[in-house]
Amino acid sequence: MVDNVEIPPTHPRYKSLIIREKLVEGFKAGYVVPQGLIAHGRGECFDYLIGEETAPFAKKAIDAAIAALLLAKHPVISVNGNVAALTPGEVVELANIIGARVEINLFYRTEDRVRKIAEILRKHGAQEVLGVDDATATIPELYSERRRVSPKGILVADVVLVPLEDGDRTEALRKMGKTVIAIDLNPFSRTARAANITIVDNIVRALPLMIERAKELKSKNREYLRSILDSYNNDAVLKEAIRYIAERLLKLSECGRVTLY
Ligand code: PTJ
């Protein structure tokens, strides 16, 4: 039930509508920004293009991402408004499995939003949330509110997971020598191209798969994890994503009919 309007589970776009409603609820509660709704629309469009399922290129990136996070000394998962609305429980669960810290980092930072997002994460079991009262350090050469980071978190992290990100911070974090893992449905975005590892998938599918893989890979030795990372090539994975979309569209354009009736 949303605003007294029932979304029937039989609706062909039920899952997608429920995801939208989570963001709208977050917007009404004041922790998702209007720009977050626009960002989601862009994501939805790319999700249509990849067929709304996790493709092989995303699975490769997920394996590399988990290997990097498990090998890291100071892994950090960065959380913004959209992430808090869509996957708060999954962020906390993944952080617990891989031993990562969770830090709130917002493009449109206000103390009120930070407080609300921290509350949501704590409600989902987070013992520690960085970036609340301790965002006292700054990322050099970054002039947006995203520059404010915790000295215990992103500042000293060697690997940072940045879901639904804007490109500037990814580039700035790379310049600081950090390994950046992005989750971004748009394989053409600056973030996707600047990250070391880009998971081109919807965060609502990617995070549960990351949790599954983290449980499996956690027992493997460091050499095994290193071999996954060494054989990973982000440029090749992004090209695979673009080719996948192009071939899928070509196939659709050549099939008998694309109309429903
Ligand atoms: O909460 P704040 O203040 O930190 O602001 C968050 C937003 C998302 C508004 C801010 O980071 C922003 O403006 O992001 P961009 O530059 O619009 O980039 C967001 C990227 O995430 C776009 O490339 C979208 O395609 C992608 N995206 C949107 N929804 C999803 C997604 N990727 C994966 N899963 C999604 N559900």
Q: How remote is the CA of residue 36 from the centroid of ligand 1, in Å? A: 6
Residues 6+ positions from 176 with CB-CB distance below 8 Å: 139, 140
Question: How far is the C-alpha of 106 from the C-alpha of 78, rounded, in Å?
Answer: 9
Q: For residue 80, report the distance from its CA to the centre of ligand 1, in Å.
A: 9
Cβ of 170 closer than 6 Å to ligand 1, yes or no, is no
Question: Among the atoms of ligand 1, which is closest to the Cα of residue 19?
Answer: 36
Return the SS3 of 218.
coil
How far apart are the C-alpha atoms of 67 and 224, rounded to whole Å? 9
Distance 166 CA to ligand 1 centre (A): 7
Domain boundaries in the chain? 56-241
Sequence-ordered list of residues with C-beta below 8 angstroms from that of 127, at least 6 positions apart, any chain: none
Q: 245 alpha carbon to ligand 1 midpoint, in Å? A: 20
Q: Is the CB of 40 under 6 A from ligand 1?
A: yes
Distances in Å between the Cα of 210 and the Cα atoms of 65, 70, 160, 203, 225 are 8, 12, 14, 10, 14
DSSP 164-210: S--HHHHHHHHHTT-EEEEE-S-TTSHHHHHSSEEE-S-HHHHHHHH
Pairing state between β 148-149 and 137-138: antiparallel
pLDDT number for residue 15: 84
Q: What is the predicted pLDDT for the residue at 4?
A: 60
Q: How far is the CA of 222 from the centre of ligand 1 (A)?
A: 32
- Gyration radius from the chain CA atoms: 18
pLDDT the model gives residue 10: 80
Residue 40 has a pLDDT of 96
- Return the pLDDT at 9: 83
Give the CATH class of 56-241: alpha beta
Instruction: Give the pLDDT of the chain (261 residues) as one tens digit per residue.
Output: 556 667 788 887 878 888 999 999 999 999 999 999 999 999 999 999 999 999 999 999 999 999 999 999 999 999 999 999 999 999 999 999 999 999 999 999 999 999 999 999 999 999 999 999 999 999 988 888 889 999 999 999 999 999 998 788 999 999 999 999 999 999 999 999 999 999 999 999 999 999 999 999 999 999 999 999 999 999 999 999 999 999 999 998 888 777 777
Pocket flag, ligand 1, residue 42 (CB < 6 Å):
yes
Q: Could you tell which of 42, 106, 164, 188 is best to mutate to test the pocket of ligand 1, judged by most ligand atoms within 8 Å of the CB?
A: 164
Atom 21 of ligand 1 has which residue's CA nearest to it? Answer: 164
Kindly report the backbone phi and psi dihedral angles of residue 54, in degrees, each rounded to the nearest multiple of 5, phi listed first: -75, 120
Euclidean distance between CA atoms 131 and 162, whole angstroms: 14
Task: Name 226's Cβ contacts closer than 8 Å, sequence gap at least 6.
Answer: 67, 71
Its pTM stands at 0.95
pLDDT number for residue 7? 77
Residue 203, ligand 1, Cβ within 6 A: yes
